[in-house]
Amino acid sequence: MAQLILHPGKEKSILRRHPWIFAGAVARLDGRARPGDTVDVVAGGGKHAGEVLARAAWSPASQIRARAWSFDAIDPIDDAFFKRRIAAAVERRTALPELAGQQGLRLIHAESDGLPGVIADRYGDTVVVQLTSAGADKWRKAIVGALQKASGCARIYERSDSEVRGREGLEPVSGWLLGDPPAGDIAIDEHGVRMKVDIVAGHKTGFYLDQRDNRRLLRDLAAGKRVLNCFFYTGGFSLQALAGGATEVVSVDSSEPALATARDNLALNPQLDAGRAQWRAANVFDELRRLAEAGERFDLIVLDPPKFAPSASHVERASRAYKDINLNAFKLLAPGGLMMTYSCSGGVDLDTFQRIVARAALDAGRDARIVKRLQGAADHPIALAFPEGEYLKGLLVQA
């Protein structure tokens, strides 16, 4: 097995069990390794000099040169390894009562489940898998087999079409890996609301499972309120607000296909009062300003924008965008109203996001306070050694 030799002092993060090894930490590669091959990660100096600290997947095309599979120097990375890891991830979710009975569930959450580059979401009896790293791609067959066994699902579809694969030197791949396509649309029930899941062309694996608990919270808050939902995508927050008894739900998104899907989802739920829903295909930034200028007011506002800052290099531009939408939302918030505001940008940490929202409230002349910090659902765990896994952060604020 080839050895990845680190520069002296660069072993500290590995000793803390952080799974990423960046190009700047690598002194040299002793031996030959192809993309995705397993290499031994060896300390290049200090008291651990010459020690094997981890076994990792080699990725010469990426700035993240290797991603650790295991911090056990003698752990064999083979089919049995993936069977154990995937079974353990599924069992951890089975052990959480709040996840019992969920038709949509994340089974594998990449680094936080000890499987860098592997995402797997279950929708009913269909699993959608994303393989975004060279190592995950290398072990595709073992991963798919282990997923089928651990989940018991009849179908597995691959959505490895993320731009992240390009940074790993990989081409996008999509298609059925196991089983036949379903006869009709895939749909799940979430808190009593039926939602279509487009696993072929939808965002991520077809649905934003990470917001499950936050959609339930919105439902609990919505009774008797006028609600504004911005960047509604397929209408998850909007439909939960209707289910919770909102008097009116105004939903804004620039995507016409999203608008069509949201309307389809509403039609799947005849128990909801469609007359209380307004769907608007518009640029959210422009629509927020227009609503503010028109003197509109809402009791409950949701801001769930797309990823403005995928990396630290985009933070400045993203900060301006987050400031803009939060500033105008505060102007629209009725006295004593509540706002759920989110960032899913990995380059913007929680402290930075909170400062942005605070400046937006100040500039809007609103005295706001945090009622609750919001995060992803329990099937999206965050490894203590990998804080980068906390990409979704949110605030429930009152002003």
Binning pLDDT at 50, 70 and 90, where does residue 311 land? low
Confidence of residue 306 (pLDDT cuts 50, 70, 90): confident
Query: For residue 312, is pLDDT > 70?
Result: no
Record the tokens describing residue 133, joined without a space: 């790293």
Q: Outline where the chain has alpha helix (H).
A: 12-15, 79-94, 134-138, 140-151, 164-167, 212-221, 236-243, 256-267, 284-293, 315-332, 350-363
Can you tell me the distance from the alpha carbon of 336 to that of 239, in angstroms, rounded to the nearest whole number?
23
Q: Look up residue 82 and give its two tokens.
A: 């993936």
- Gyration radius of the chain's alpha carbons: 23
Instruction: Decide if pLDDT at 310 tops 80.
Output: no
pTM: 0.94
**Residues 6 or more apart in contact with residue 257 via CB below 8 angstroms:** none
Residues ≥6 apart with Cβ < 8 Å to 47: none
Residue 25: both structure tokens together:
């930490």
Cβ atoms of residues 268 and 187 within 8 Å: yes
The answer to whether 120 and 129 have CB atoms below 8 angstroms apart is yes
Are residues 268 and 195 in contact, defined by beta-carbon separation less than 8 angstroms?
yes
| Alpha carbon distance 390, 245 (integer Å) | 31
In percent, how much of the chain has pLDDT > 90? 91
User: Model confidence over 27-45: pLDDT tens digits?
Assistant: 999 999 999 999 999 999 9
Geometric angle at alpha carbon 147, from 142 and 153, rounded to 5°: 140
Mean per-residue pLDDT, 306-333: 86
Residue 229 token pair: 């939902």
pLDDT higher than 90, residue 316: no
Confidence of residue 315 (pLDDT cuts 50, 70, 90): confident
Residue type, 182: P
Q: Which of 144, 300, 344, 383 is catalytic?
A: 344
Which amino acid makes up residue 151?
S
The four Cα atoms 24, 27, 31, 35 give a dihedral, to 10 degrees, of 0
Q: What is the mean pLDDT of the chain?
A: 95
The pLDDT value given to residue 199 = 95
Confidence of residue 192 (pLDDT cuts 50, 70, 90): very high
Q: Which domains does the chain have, with CATH numbers?
A: 3-70 (2.30.130.10), 79-184 (3.30.750.80), 207-398 (3.40.50.150)
The pLDDT value given to residue 64: 97
- Verify whether residue 230 is a known catalytic residue: no
What are the residues whose beta carbons fall under 8 Å from the beta carbon of 91, sequence distance 6 or more? none
In one-letter notation, the amino acid at residue 23 is A
Q: Which residues contact 262 (CB under 8 A, 6 or more apart)?
A: 232, 233, 234, 235, 238, 251, 253, 279
Indicate the burial class of 180 (C-beta count within 10 angstroms; 0-12, 13-18, 19 or more): exposed
* Mean pLDDT confidence for 363-382: 97
pLDDT tens figures, 378-396: 999 999 999 999 999 999 9
Inform me whether the pLDDT recorded for 264 exceeds 90: yes
Q: What does 313-332 look like in DSSP terms, one character per residue? A: GGHHHHHHHHHHHHHHHHHH
Helices vs. strands in the chain: H and E counts, helices first: 11, 20
Cα 129 from Cα 89, distance rounded (Å): 14
Cα 177 from Cα 156, distance rounded (Å) = 6
Is 274:244 a contact under the CB 8 Å cutoff? no
Average pLDDT, stretch 150-163? 94
Q: What DSSP assignment string belongs to 180-231? A: PPPSS-EEEEETTEEEEE-TTTSSTTSS-GGGHHHHHHHHHH-TT-EEEEES
Question: What is the percent of the chain where pLDDT is above 70?
Answer: 99
- Residues 87 and 76: their CA atoms lie apart, in Å, by 17
Helix (H, G, I), strand (E, B) or coil at 121: strand
- Identify whether the C-beta of residue 138 lies closer than 8 Å to the C-beta of residue 56: no
Q: 93-133: per-residue pLDDT in tens? A: 999 999 999 999 999 999 999 999 999 999 999 999 999 99
The predicted pLDDT at position 347 comes to: 81
